[in-house]
Amino acid sequence: MTVGNDQLLDAVADFERAVRGDEPEGMAQTHGALRHLVGDANPAALTQAGPRLAAVLEDVPLGGRADIAVMIGYCVEVGADPVSCAPPVLANLAEVLDGAMELIEQVSAIKDLELPDPEDIDEESELLGLMFETFGPQATLSWLTLSPWVTASLSMLQRKAVRQGLGPIRELLTQRYQAYLEASGSDGKDIDYALLVLDDEPLIVLDRDTSTGYQLRMSGIADNFQLQTLLGDALIGGGHLAGEPPSAEAVAVSRDSDGRVPTVVSFMFHAPDGTRIWNEGTPSDIPVIDGARLLVLDEMPYPHHCPALRYFPSMIAELELDRALSPTECATWFAHVRPAER
């Protein structure tokens, strides 16, 4: 059953009043109403609700703030303006990472103490009270709510306009998230992976066998498997290089369509110094030479296929071929290239 615009937006207005009036009981009641209504609301209402909830997020008590952030992320997924919704969510993620790190450092100082799974801790449990007493509410709630903060933040970071406007918080989030992963022993590949994504990035591609070169521009490509498919479409599908092009379905999935289909791996990637650039890596692994990422293509020594998909399902990928380089330009770029390591 779809919730009408007025019903959700009335609940948002009630929540705004409770937050701005610092009314704990009113916040709890209206928070519950929002949780009930958001999932069934229509896109027009959610588009309006997202920025309004983001505007009061900082004043929501920490215990309920992550849940509101997830609602904001859902609004963005449906169509709310990500640029206005993202700043308070990402700023809170940075603070929560700091608090979670504080808890982990305290735990590491206590011999034979292991942290439980956050999902196993009930709001009314004695364990939660003990953690509050031992580690402090800020550190405990930061650690406990980190997963929903990551979920909400990924809704923002999958939007190009948000990534382009990150500014200094990009480096701060990268440092804190990597430090958290190292301290916690986690091997997650989400926030730090999203922060590596390049947008409107110049890319020079040189094909060693034909001594030809191409100038492209890329955005929103999460990994080099995805880059393989899009490059195969641009260069082989575009008639510039010989080989088997990826299917139209594989290209669509790699750009902006849902699904997962098999695709061909057309090239072996190398850096200009001859070292291998692995498909499991990201376009940020491609070195910058004279203001552009410089990638060298070599022929695959054997047929290879992989699934075409997008690591971030809401992130739209772009790879545009600007032009083929002239022989003189190719010679200039190839001067940076060394033989491939075998």
In a 3-state reduction of DSSP, which class is residue 155? helix
Q: Please, where are the H alpha helices in 238-315?
A: 248-255
The tens digit of pLDDT for each residue in 16-72 reads: 999 999 999 999 999 999 999 999 999 999 999 999 999 999 999 999 999 999 999
Domain limits of the chain?
5-195, 201-334
- Give just the sign of the alpha carbon dihedral 65, 70, 73, 75: negative
> Confidence class of residue 123 from pLDDT cuts 50, 70 and 90?
confident
Given a cut of 90, is residue 114 above it in pLDDT? no
Q: Which residues of 212-231 are buried (b: 16+ CB within 10 A; e: fewer)?
A: bbbbbbbbbbbbbbbbbbbb
Read off the pLDDT of each residue in 186-198 and give the average, rounded to a whole number. Answer: 90
Given a cut of 60, is residue 104 above it in pLDDT? yes
Read off the pLDDT of each residue in 259-276 and give the average, rounded to a whole number. Answer: 96
> Confidence class of residue 110 from pLDDT cuts 50, 70 and 90?
confident
- Give just the sign of the alpha carbon dihedral 264, 268, 271, 276: positive
Tell how far CA 304 is from the center of its chain.
Answer: 27
The tens digit of pLDDT for each residue in 219-241 reads: 999 999 999 999 999 999 999 99
245 touches 231 (CB < 8 A):
no
The tens digit of pLDDT for each residue in 201-217 reads: 999 999 999 999 999 99
pTM, entire model: 0.93
Q: Please, where are the H alpha helices in 136-221?
A: 137-144, 146-157, 160-164, 169-184, 191-195
Given a cut of 90, is residue 113 above it in pLDDT? no
pLDDT at 286 (0 to 100): 98
> Confidence class of residue 4 from pLDDT cuts 50, 70 and 90?
low
